[in-house]
Structure 1
Amino acid sequence: MNIENIEAFVYVIHYGSFNKASEVLFLSQPSVTARIQSLERELDCQLFDRIGKQVHLTEDGRKFLPYAQQLLQTFQKGKIHLKQKKALPNELRIGCTVSVSNYMMPAIIPKMKHKYPEINFKLMTGITDDLVNKVLNRDVDISFVRGVTHPSLLSAKFYEDPIRLYVYEGHPFIGKENLTIQDIGRQALIFFECGSLDWMRIHRVFDSLKESPNIQIQTDNSETAKKLVLQRAGIAFLPGLSASQEVKDNKLFPIDFPETAGIALQTNLITLNGENTLFFNSILDICKGLWGRTKG
């Protein structure tokens, strides 16, 4: 059965005449008439009564109409679906900082894969400056970076991860009130450095001390810093996401004090203006579902 014949049948009914249907379909009136006649031969029935310039559905025509409409709608939906698939890339390249790669992407990617099963995902980890340049140069489609602004980029504040002091099980700071910077500065400290302004604020907390803080180990990897704390090599300031599971398991304990309140790592989602907005919005929606409303 020819879908064009079904289309002509539905359009004649919708517009009330062969002439108007032919105008909408960009066909001549004889061509529309020929399509209806072909459909009638296929169905072995008469679909219209023609009285002068007026056309009326026959009883058989009324019976066939809902099926014709459903066939045409199904065909049109299929065309739209195929066009959408053709418009989607084969691969989506996502850049991310180490913390996002370690603690967020394992939850985000399966949901993106479920939503876009035909797309392959390529993840690249790096520092913010490099990731921004990769987006600007179209080497990466979308990226998670520290808070940045750029006139060529669409940017949305994605998450704020509080930086807190974490100690191991049995540490004397647990349950202790009125801790001072001096108390913390005397402890064996493991410093996780990620090069952001937020970490500079942590350093400045100790500027008032007469003696330098007792920093015994420095690392640029939050997982390394966390594992060293678990091994009781010292205590460390860590992003909350990196320590969330260990806090649940009562292996690490956050210690709060006024001087570091409000210090957090801000993560933004970026892409080039006018590009990849479908995936950009999808990732934001997924993240809101996983972690609630993004902070800030």
Structure 2
Amino acid sequence: MNIENIEAFIYVCQLGSINKAAEALYLTQPSVSARIQSLEKELDLKLFDRQRNKLSLTEKGEQFYPHAKKILHSYQEAKHSLKQTMIPYELTIGCASSISNNLLPNILPALKEKYENLKVKIVTGHSKDVVQKVINNQVDFGIVRTETHPQIESIPIFSDPIGLFVPTHHPLASLDNINMKELEEQPFIFFDYGSFDWLMLHRLFQKNNITPNISIEVDHMETAKNLVLQGMGLSFLPHHCVRNEVEQGTLKQISIDPSINFNINIEFIYKKGKSKSVFIDQLKQFFHELN
């Protein structure tokens, strides 16, 4: 049974004329008449008496009217319920600052294309802060550098190599390759003290019997990148953080001997037992496909 035909029937009943129903439904009068005729044909009964300019329900039409309202109401209720189950009205994403600046512009268009009616709110902060927001239900899920916590689940979505970057006017920028020993006197800008990435870099220096000259420590890689651009020192940074600057020719990666093979891993995280489990399952699939 065509729900549009039932809707047209109800509007004609409530407004008392096909012309008024057509105006309310933003249809032409012939379109509404055709829907009523189609419904009468499907039911194999006459719903309206048509006498000159007057339109009145037949006895069968009066009997069908309350059923039609129930059918339309049930359809609208089911449609609304399914939308609420599959897509929340607004999704709040907690996101590390560098990811928000550099990766979200690539992720969000694909997410919006898949869920076109989805409203998205972005909350930025340090990865550890985002984890706490996920646990405290302040955001629906997070996109962060690898963080572990017994109350969160995670899915790897992106792995980005770390390289050593200098401004293009730096003396080292003209070299094709540099030995680790030559870095000993260079001022370094390190970000995120105590993180796994930070520890891996320190082990690299220790392995080569080098004590790095850490001139500045910051808690955000975006800050580290901007300080490098200002000529304040060298920094190990993930490629996604410096992609634009490399393309614009303001930063350059230096090849190191021995070469390094470190990656920053970006993960989609959510709280265990998340209430929006149906949508979480869809997002998990989305990020698996994206990866």
**TM-score tier after normalising by the smaller chain length:** 0.5 to 0.7
Partner of 1:226: 225
1:78-126, CA deviations, whole angstroms, 9 ceiling, x for partnerless residues?
Answer: 7754332232322211111122112122333344345434443222223
What TM-score comes out, normalization by structure 2 length? 0.65
Gaps of 5+ in 2: 7-39, 50-71
CA contact 1:181–1:205 (8 Å) conserved in 2: no
Partner of 1:32: none
What is the letter of the counterpart of residue 243 of structure 1?
V
Partner of 2:200: 201
Q: In the alignment, is residue 249 of structure 1 matched against residue 254 of structure 2?
A: no
Change (3 A) 1:194 1:146: farther
CA distance in 1, matches of 2:151, 2:97: 24
Q: CA deviation at 1:202?
A: 0.8
Q: CA deviation at 1:197?
A: 0.7
Change (3 A) 1:156 1:286: closer
Partner of 2:179: 180
What is the letter of the counterpart of residue 197 of structure 1?
F
CA contact 1:166–1:255 (8 Å) conserved in 2: yes
Partner of 1:161: 160
Gaps of 5+ in 1: 7-34, 45-73
What is the letter of the counterpart of residue 286 of structure 2?
D
CA distance in 2, matches of 1:142, 1:128: 12
Change (3 A) 1:284 1:218: farther
Q: CA deviation at 1:186?
A: 1.4
1:41 to 31, 46, 56: 46
In the TM superposition, what are the counterparts of 1:46-195 in structure 2 within 5 Å? 81-87=79-85, 88-149=87-148, 152-174=151-173, 176-193=175-192, 195=194
| Corresponding pairs, count | 232
Partner of 2:279: 278
Change (3 A) 1:251 1:2: closer
User: In percent, how many aligned pairs have the same letter?
Assistant: 34
Q: CA deviation at 1:273?
A: 4.1
CA distance in 2, matches of 1:81, 1:260: 57
CA distance in 2, matches of 1:234, 1:184: 11
CA distance in 1, matches of 2:284, 2:172: 39
Q: CA deviation at 1:76?
A: 9.7
CA contact 2:177–2:257 (8 Å) conserved in 1: no
Q: CA deviation at 1:157?
A: 0.8
CA distance in 1, matches of 2:144, 2:42: 63
CA distance in 2, matches of 1:228, 1:2: 65
What is the letter of the counterpart of residue 80 of structure 2?
L
Single out whichever of 271-280 and 251-260 deviates more from structure 2. 271-280
1:28-48, CA deviations, whole angstroms, 9 ceiling, x for partnerless residues?
Answer: xxxxxxx9996422499xxxx
What is the letter of the counterpart of residue 195 of structure 2?
S
CA contact 1:108–1:286 (8 Å) conserved in 2: no
Q: CA deviation at 1:238?
A: 0.9
Task: State the Cα RMSD in Å.
Answer: 3.7
Single out whichever of 94-103 and 130-139 deviates more from structure 2. 130-139
